[in-house]
């Protein structure tokens, strides 16, 4: 056996955090946020060009780090480099084993990361497979997955979590399509066959309804939150004050805060409609920010790690601990909207703009270019005064 060495060690392979870690000569250990670890090698095929005329540089999966040791990964990477150097594309000239579903899914995830709207979407893509497919078919070779295996993944959640099941089906199909394109399997995609066969029951779409706290009860509830010091409580206070979505608040970074302009500027890629949203910061909002500012980190409402936000379940779990499980975090947007409609006296378009909703036809929006910031600032100031008017 050839003795190979690089930058990584067995201990590093077992303990390195999320990211792509180089061993040298094109070999990388990729660690997902979930903790999954796998090997990839990047090679440049001699004499071959990509569509833009540049040297053909390609990444290949070498297997999961739980089954492929560091030395084995180095040996496989060396084999791939030798082939590429001689002008052979490893994709078509290796006698490698058929990859497992999880191995290929992880590789597809890496390859598609640049195509997603933002990293969060890419992480959601792989998380769905991790939670519902990998436990059942993750270790199966991709050429052995048929309709029974697809049904094994989809059936348990088809009616209980129908939207999740539909996304899961799309992602399993995508992985198996890639497997066919790379010569790992042939024939019809079993996901398509399952859908065409009609073996899964039809599920009537249910309207999404977020239970909202009556707006008159918000001040007393805000007072309860003020007694709590947990970051989740401060995040929920800030969510109520801004009437923003959970994902917008939990993904908030300090870089998005314009202290001089008293604005929170949410970039377009983090907004549901893909349009930048400016949130005017009131005195009460700034007070909340100052409370959590000493915690440091990248995110305003950071989790246990400095480089990670609070879990998206943190505020919902707080509601449950407070005995308010009948309400949802998203419902506070409805509480604000009801208050604005019944009490504030502000026009509808100002309240809708505060919620980052689009109002009117495409033509109307083309002429209404203002985001009504000054009027929204007055509206949110009044909402904040109302929300904080509680008995101490």
Average pLDDT, the chain: 86
Closest CA to 280 of 263, 266, 267, 268: 263
Q: Which residues contact 298 (CB under 8 A, 6 or more apart)?
A: 253, 254, 306, 307
* Residue 36: CB atoms within 10 Å: 19
Q: Which of 1-10, 75-84, 325-334 has the lowest mean pLDDT?
A: 1-10
**Mean pLDDT, residues 244-270 taken together:** 94
For the ranges 55-64, 70-79, 263-272, the maximum mean pLDDT occurs at: 263-272
Residue 199 pLDDT grade (very low, low, confident, very high; cuts 50, 70, 90): confident
Q: What is the pTM of this model?
A: 0.49
Tokens representing residue 248 in the block: 């917008």
Q: Where are the alpha helices (DSSP H) in the chain?
A: 10-15, 70-85, 90-93, 101-112, 119-132, 134-137, 147-154, 162-181, 190-197, 218-226, 231-242, 246-250, 283-292, 314-321, 331-339, 348-354, 362-367, 373-387
Does the pLDDT of residue 365 top 60, yes or no? no
Q: Which residues contact 348 (CB under 8 A, 6 or more apart)?
A: 341, 359
Residue 3 pLDDT grade (very low, low, confident, very high; cuts 50, 70, 90): very low
Q: In whole angstroms, what separates CA 225 from the centre of its chain?
A: 28
3-class DSSP state for residue 114? helix
In the chain, what are the domains?
A: 1-96 (3.30.160.390), 98-200 (1.10.150.130), 215-387 (1.10.443.10)
Helix axes 101-112, 162-181, angle to 10 degrees: 90
Residue pLDDT, tens place only, 200-233: 888 876 555 558 999 999 999 999 999 999 999 9
User: Given this model, what pLDDT does residue 33 score?
Assistant: 78
Residue 90 pLDDT grade (very low, low, confident, very high; cuts 50, 70, 90): low
Q: Identify which has the larger pLDDT, 29 or 117.
A: 29
Does the pLDDT of residue 306 top 90, yes or no? no
Closest CA to 37 of 6, 14, 71, 54: 14
**Mean pLDDT, residues 98-124 taken together:** 82
For the ranges 23-37, 68-82, 130-144, 249-263, the maximum mean pLDDT occurs at: 249-263
Does the pLDDT of residue 1 top 50, yes or no? no
User: Given this model, what pLDDT does residue 366 score?
Assistant: 42
Residue pLDDT, tens place only, 133-180: 999 999 888 888 999 999 999 999 998 888 889 999 999 999 999 888
User: Given this model, what pLDDT does residue 206 score?
Assistant: 58
Closest CA to 10 of 59, 72, 76, 62: 72
Residue 362 pLDDT grade (very low, low, confident, very high; cuts 50, 70, 90): very low
């Amino acid at each position: 056996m050839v003795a190979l060495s690089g930058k990584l060690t067995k201990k590093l392979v077992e303990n390195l955090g999320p990211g792509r870690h180089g061993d040298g000569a094109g070999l990388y250990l990729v660690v997902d946020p979930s903790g999954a670890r796998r090997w990839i090698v990047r090679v440049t095929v001699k004499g071959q060009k990509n569509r833009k005329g540049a040297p053909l540089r390609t990444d290949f999966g070498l297997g999961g780090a739980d089954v492929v040791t560091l030395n084995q990964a180095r040996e496989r990477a060396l084999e791939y480099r030798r082939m590429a150097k001689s002008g052979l594309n490893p994709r078509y000239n290796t006698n490698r084993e058929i990859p497992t579903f999880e191995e290929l899914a992880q590789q597809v995830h890496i390859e598609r990361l640049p195509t997603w709207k933002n990293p969060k979407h890419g992480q959601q893509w792989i998380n769905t497979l991790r939670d519902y497919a990998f436990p059942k078919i993750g270790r199966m070779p991709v050429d052995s997955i048929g309709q029974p295996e697809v049904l094994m993944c989809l059936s348990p959640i088809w009616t209980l979590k129908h939207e999740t099941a539909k996304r899961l089906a799309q992602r399993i199909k995508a992985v198996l399509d890639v497997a066919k394109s790379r010569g790992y399997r042939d024939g019809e995609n079993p996901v398509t066959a399952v859908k065409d066969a009609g073996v899964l029951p039809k599920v009537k779409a249910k309207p999404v309804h977020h239970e909202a706290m009556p707006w008159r009860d918000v001040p007393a509830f805000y007072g309860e939150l003020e007694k709590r010091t947990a970051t989740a409580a401060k995040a929920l206070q800030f969510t109520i004050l801004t009437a923003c979505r959970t994902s917008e608040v939990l993904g908030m970074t300090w870089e998005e805060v314009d202290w001089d302009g008293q604005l929170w500027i949410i970039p377009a890629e983090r907004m549901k409609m893909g349009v930048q949203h400016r949130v005017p910061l009131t005195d009460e909002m700034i007070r909340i920010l100052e409370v959590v500012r000493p915690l440091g980190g990248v995110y305003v409402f950071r989790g246990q790690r400095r480089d990670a936000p609070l879990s998206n379940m943190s505020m919902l779990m707080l509601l449950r601990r407070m005995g308010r499980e009948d309400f949802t975090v998203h419902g506070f947007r409805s509480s604000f909207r009801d208050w604005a409609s019944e009490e504030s006296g502000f026009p509808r378009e100002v309240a809708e703009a505060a919620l980052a909703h689009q109002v009117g036809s495409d033509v109307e929006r083309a002429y209404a270019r203002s985001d009504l910031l000054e009027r929204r600032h007055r509206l949110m100031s009044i909402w904040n005064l109302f929300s904080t008017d509680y008995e101490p």
